[in-house]
Every structure is written in C-alpha cells, then in structure tokens.
C-alpha cells in the first residue's frame, strides 16, 4: 500500500514540477500579466482539471514558487544579526533583476506583497505574540517597505552592494520590531 502512496506522491510532484516549469517559461517569454492558466496547462501538457487539483490559478503558482525565496526576507529583523540566507536572496534578486523587477510590477506585485506580508505576519506572531498593535499592521508595514526598497535598488540608479542592502532590510525590520511598545514578550 505504501508503494501506491509513494507512486502517487511522485506523480503529484512531477505534475507540479511540470506546471511550475511551464509557468516559469511563460513568465520569461510573456510576463506575468499576460499568462493564462490555459497556456500553462498546454505547455505543461496537463489537463485543466489536473492543473486545478494542484493550483487555484496563476497567483497560487507564483505564491508557492516564491515562498522559499521570500522566507529570508520575511524573517529579517527577528534575530540580532542578519541571517546569511537574506544576503543570498538579495544577491539572487540582483543577478535575476530583470525577472525580479517584473515580479514587483503589474499584476504580480499585489500577489508578491500579500505573500510576503502573510509570511512576515506568521514569523512575527511566532516570535513575538504580544505586539501592542496588530501583527498584520506591522507585517504590512515591513512587507511594503522591504519590497519598495528592493524594487528601487533593482533599478540600479542607487548603487549599493547586496550585503549592505540585506543588512539595511534587517536593520529596519529589527528596529521596527524592537521599537514597537510591548512587541517583545517574555
């Protein structure tokens, strides 16, 4: 019986990988705003119902694809020193700046912003359950600020090494979380 479950899990992983690969290919060619789920299913060679078994739409694919990448940004400020993964992500954004910039514009921006906001809220709630203002407000502030800073940095008009930007994102989040009355519970 466990062989059947394992086979099913492997098929699901392969299907999800095919969908994500097709989505990413279309993202580079057409841009996020111009992609439809029908195009993704065609390119991934999966049926419409199969697509919707795994994803609710293109926003869901984007959110699930970016969750791992955005996690270090969501965690910024939770520790006394920046986590090395934050610098790695910022460096990755720079090397993929055309792609990263596209994700911070158009229809993709609200999806990325909501995802990061929710991740920040989750991280804050886990680390500091007794904030004096709703966690959602702090998370909204931090997510919007982080993305705005990254977006402007990606234009290249304001030179700054990736590690310095990572330190700044961390420092802003750390100061915000520590500067919020009763934000640190014992």
Number of domains in the chain: 2
- Specify whether 12 is located in the same domain as 104: no
State in Å, rounded, how far the first CA of the chain is from the last one.
47
Confidence of residue 178 (pLDDT cuts 50, 70, 90): confident
Same domain, 81 and 171: yes
Question: For the ranges 2-6, 94-98, 148-152, which has the lowest average pLDDT?
Answer: 2-6
Verify that 49 and 63 share a domain, yes or no: no
Is the same domain home to 19 and 84?
A: no
Query: Are residue 81 and residue 121 in the same domain, yes or no?
Result: yes
Give tens-digit pLDDT for 2-42. Answer: 445 577 888 999 999 999 999 989 988 898 999 999 999 99
Q: What pLDDT was estimated at residue 128?
A: 63
Domain that holds residue 108: 59-179
Report percent pLDDT > 70 for the chain: 91
The torsion of the CA quartet 42, 47, 50, 51, rounded to 10 degrees, works out to 30
Domain match, 88 and 125 both:
yes
Cβ atoms of residues 59 and 32 within 8 Å: no
Taking 80 as the threshold, does the pLDDT of residue 182 lie above it?
Answer: no
Q: Write down how long the chain is.
A: 186
CB atoms within 10 A of CB 84: 11
Q: Same domain, yes or no, for 141 and 63?
A: yes
User: Is residue 47 domain-shared with residue 68, that is, in the same domain?
Assistant: no
Cα–Cα nearest to 16, from 51, 68, 58: 51
Of the residues 55, 74, 95, which one is the last residue of a structural domain?
55
Put simply, whether the predicted model's pTM sits higher than 0.75 gets the answer yes
**Whether pLDDT at 49 is above 80:** yes
């Amino acid at each position: 019986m466990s062989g059947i479950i394992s086979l099913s899990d492997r098929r699901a992983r392969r299907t999800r990988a095919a969908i994500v690969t097709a989505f990413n290919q279309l993202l580079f060619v057409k841009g996020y705003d111009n992609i439809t789920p029908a195009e993704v299913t065609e390119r991934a060679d999966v049926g419409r119902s199969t697509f919707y078994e795994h994803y609710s739409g293109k926003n869901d694919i984007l959110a699930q694809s970016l969750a791992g990448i955005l996690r270090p940004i969501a965690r910024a400020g939770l520790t006394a020193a920046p986590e090395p993964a934050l610098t790695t992500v910022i460096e990755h954004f720079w090397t993929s700046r055309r792609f990263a910039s596209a994700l911070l514009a158009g229809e993709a921006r609200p999806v990325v912003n909501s995802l990061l906001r929710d991740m920040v809220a989750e991280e804050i709630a886990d680390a500091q359950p007794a904030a004096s203002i709703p966690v959602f407000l702090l998370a909204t502030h931090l997510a919007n600020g982080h993305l705005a800073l990254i977006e402007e940095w990606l234009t290249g008009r304001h030179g700054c090494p990736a590690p310095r930007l990572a330190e700044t994102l961390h420092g802003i989040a750390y100061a915000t979380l520590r500067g919020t009355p009763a934000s640190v519970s014992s």
